[in-house]
Structure 1
Amino acid sequence: MTTDTVGGVWTYSCALAASLAASGAEVTLATLGPRARADQHEMLRDSRIRLIETDLALEWQDPEGRDFANARGVLTALEAQLRPDIVHLNSFREATLSWRAPTVLVAHSCVNSWALACRDSAWLSEPRWTRYTERVAAGLNSTQAWICPSQSFHDDIVEIYRPRSPGAVIWNGIAASAFPNRKRQLIFAAGRLWDRAKNIEVLAAAAPGLEWPVQIAGPADADPSASISWLGPLPHNALRRRLQHAAIFTSPALYEPFGLSVLEAAAAGCALVLSNIATFRELWSGAARFFEPGDSQALHRILAELCADDFGRTRLQRAAYEQSLSYSLARTTSAYLKLYEGLLASNRPSPQAGQIEVHA
């Protein structure tokens, strides 16, 4: 299973790989891009997962494909060494390699859909990004199965790349936890300030005048507002502890193919205040308050109402928590195992589930 350490793909990969390993699969994670930090290694500490760090370039950081020939050599050698039953790819262009094992491509994000959501797409016509688009499309048409974590993002992929096969949707999932007993008067958010899609400036504009403190976790070059406490990047365990304490979680995102941080907030019993985008509507209708992503005044108004309304806030917290149970890690793992087994059955006599190996 390939992975990267830059965003939520690492959290997804670690959770899924650990769950697959617990079911009896032998799993090797191979990183592309920057190496895992010490706190990211900690997320694999209690699992039986083997980690290989390749130092290969991420496709969106290498749109020209300058590192692709190197990737071909490294990943082909890994497959020859590990002899996997399934190759699970959490990226696009690597699906165009001549794999011996069946491949599953999971589309977590792409540059084109990001740019369209941010309404900043003129540069996509540059030759290097045209090449990137061609490789993404080729990856979707080369793999035996491609997956998206939401129907909304699946529809975006179909609209942009027109893949030959229909693809499928498997929602991301996390391990369930007990509903927390106590919450603090705290509004919490997570996102990279430099990522336009996270739309943090709208929260910065909404924060002044709120009675409760607003905290944001994520990398930033400078604090966006005196009304916000910017926590910087947090290890995953520290982020989860913050969510356990926060009464409200908000995401003003312009773009989220799934939004694992929202799911983790809901599972921690936070009341959700989310931007009115298709993904959030799909996953959280009836369990969140919504606002137009450019409307900081509407966001301020909803946050102020929830800070003052104990009953409404508690009801929303319970609704978010109950909805989060629909996105369980067990359900996600079961869906992937079923997919793997189907691919194996179409290539050769299907082994027992406990004998499946997932490598890259």
Structure 2
Amino acid sequence: MTADAVGGVWTYALELCRALSVHGVDVALATMGPEPTEPQRAQAERLTNVTLHCTSYRLEWMDDPWDDVACAGAWLLALAARERIDLVHLNGFAHAALPWRKPVLVVAHSCVYSWWHAVRGTEPPSSSWERYRHRVAAGLNRADVVVAPTRAFLHELHRHYEFDVPSRVISNARTAPLAAARVPAKEPIIFASGRLWDDAKNLCALDLVAPRIAWPIFVAGDARSPDGREARTDVLHCIGKRGDDEVAQWLARASIFVHPAHYEPFGLAVLEAAHAGCALVLSDIATLREIWGDAAIYVDAREPSNIEGALRLLIDTPHERVRLGRLARRRAATLSTSRMGEAYCALYRQLSSGPVRERSVA
């Protein structure tokens, strides 16, 4: 299984590996991109069914990555041969076009073209990104099956890339933390999380809202981008990047979780907040509506006044906060790691029992 340690893919991979352990599935977890931190390595090492293999090869969505992508491909093929793997689970696209001798599953977590369409309202410059589009499409077409966490995101993949292979939806999942299970009394605070510098997360909108509401807004996440650019805020309470346990403690205290993202193929942060019984204020995008249904308030996140109105409503109506928090917790309980593990195991068995697709070098 491939992964990176940059964001949600790491969390997804460890949750899935943990769920697979009860089914007797051993995982060679191969990471590219920035190497896992010591706390991340410790997380992986606690999983007895996982062996961690790390490199720092550039990821396919980074600037000028293709020499590194090729080197990473050779490394992955050698690793697969050495580990005698039975199946390839790729949390990326380009490496599906390698000459694998085993079934290949591609799980789509995000992509550059759908990001640009959602955030910028256009496509990325073809001069810079056409090769990326070609490599993603090639990988999708060489996979045995493509998985997405929502129907809406699967639709976006088909919108931006031409591919014709079997596909299905398997929801992501997150283990409910112990802090959420204790259900403490909620406090008059609002919480958000994500990369402050990432335009897709749109957390800068909260900087416009915060001075006009009575409750403080706390935000967990990196303010500095990989290229050194730092997001600045005047009124948000930025607490920096925090570990899972600390975030869980904040969510256990928070009455409201606000997520104004322009682009969110799934949203593990929202799931964590729902486990904690927070009332959810979410951007009105198809993926979030698909997951959360009537368990949230939806807003046009391009209009800060809409975010402000939803937050004011919940601040002023305690019974509505409690009602939405209960609905969110109930919905989160259906997105269990056990169900995710069972769904992937069933798919693994199906792929392993069928004929192996012939693959040559793309």
**Structure 2 length normalisation: TM-score?**
0.92
Identify the residue that residue 4 of structure 1 maps to in structure 2: 4
* 2:305 counterpart SS class: helix
Contact 1:93 1:135 in 2 (8 A): yes
**Counterparts of 2:32 and 2:100 in 1: how far apart (Å)?**
17
Identify the residue that residue 286 of structure 1 maps to in structure 2: 294
Matched, 1:337 2:329: no
* 1:50 counterpart SS class: strand
Pairing 1:184-223 to 2, within 5 Å after superposition: 184-221=187-224, 222=230
Matched, 1:314 2:322: yes
Deviation readout 1:187-214 (Å, 9 max, x if unpaired): 0001112211101111111111221110
Identify the residue that residue 143 of structure 1 maps to in structure 2: 143
Query: Is the alpha carbon distance of 1:122 and 1:160 closer, same or farther for their aligned partners in structure 2, counting shifts above 3 Å?
Result: closer
Deviation readout 1:207-233 (Å, 9 max, x if unpaired): 112211100111114564332101111
Q: CA offset at residue 11 of structure 1?
A: 0.3
Pairing 1:1-360 to 2, within 5 Å after superposition: 1-48=1-48, 49-63=50-64, 65-119=66-120, 121=122, 123-126=124-127, 128-176=128-176, 178=181, 180-221=183-224, 222=230, 224-347=232-355
Contact 1:64 1:132 in 2 (8 A): no
Deviation readout 1:222-249 (Å, 9 max, x if unpaired): 5643321011111222212211211110
**Counterparts of 1:180 and 1:215 in 2: how far apart (Å)?**
20
Identify the residue that residue 351 of structure 1 maps to in structure 2: none
**Counterparts of 1:120 and 1:39 in 2: how far apart (Å)?**
37
Letter in 2 for 1:198: K
Query: Aligned pairs, how many?
Result: 347
Tell me, which stretches of 5 or more residues in structure 2 are unaligned?
A: 225-229, 357-362
* 2:146 counterpart SS class: strand
* 1:168 counterpart SS class: strand
- Greater CA deviation, 230-239 or 320-329? 230-239
* 2:29 counterpart SS class: strand
* 1:347 counterpart SS class: coil
* 1:237 counterpart SS class: helix
Identify the residue that residue 354 of structure 1 maps to in structure 2: none
Letter in 2 for 1:204: D
**Counterparts of 1:160 and 1:179 in 2: how far apart (Å)?**
44
Which structure ranks higher in relative contact order (CA pairs < 8 Å, sequence separation ≥ 6)?
1
Tell me, which stretches of 5 or more residues in structure 1 are unaligned?
A: 349-360
**Counterparts of 1:235 and 1:156 in 2: how far apart (Å)?**
31
Deviation readout 1:292-340 (Å, 9 max, x if unpaired): 0111111111112211211110001000000111211111111100000
- Greater CA deviation, 61-70 or 259-268? 61-70
Q: CA offset at residue 179 of structure 1?
A: 6.2
Contact 1:63 1:132 in 2 (8 A): no
Query: Is the alpha carbon distance of 1:297 and 1:118 closer, same or farther for their aligned partners in structure 2, counting shifts above 3 Å?
Result: same
* 2:171 counterpart SS class: coil
**Counterparts of 1:212 and 1:164 in 2: how far apart (Å)?**
49
**Counterparts of 2:306 and 2:121 in 1: how far apart (Å)?**
24
**Counterparts of 2:286 and 2:124 in 1: how far apart (Å)?**
24
Q: CA offset at residue 53 of structure 1?
A: 0.3
Q: CA offset at residue 182 of structure 1?
A: 1.8
Q: CA offset at residue 29 of structure 1?
A: 0.8
Contact 2:188 2:215 in 1 (8 A): yes
* 2:274 counterpart SS class: helix
* 2:212 counterpart SS class: coil
Contact 2:113 2:123 in 1 (8 A): no
Contact 1:254 1:277 in 2 (8 A): yes
Alpha-carbon RMSD across the aligned residues, in angstroms, is 1.5
Contact 2:117 2:123 in 1 (8 A): no
Q: CA offset at residue 64 of structure 1?
A: 5.2
Query: Is the alpha carbon distance of 1:131 and 1:170 closer, same or farther for their aligned partners in structure 2, counting shifts above 3 Å?
Result: same
Letter in 2 for 1:190: S
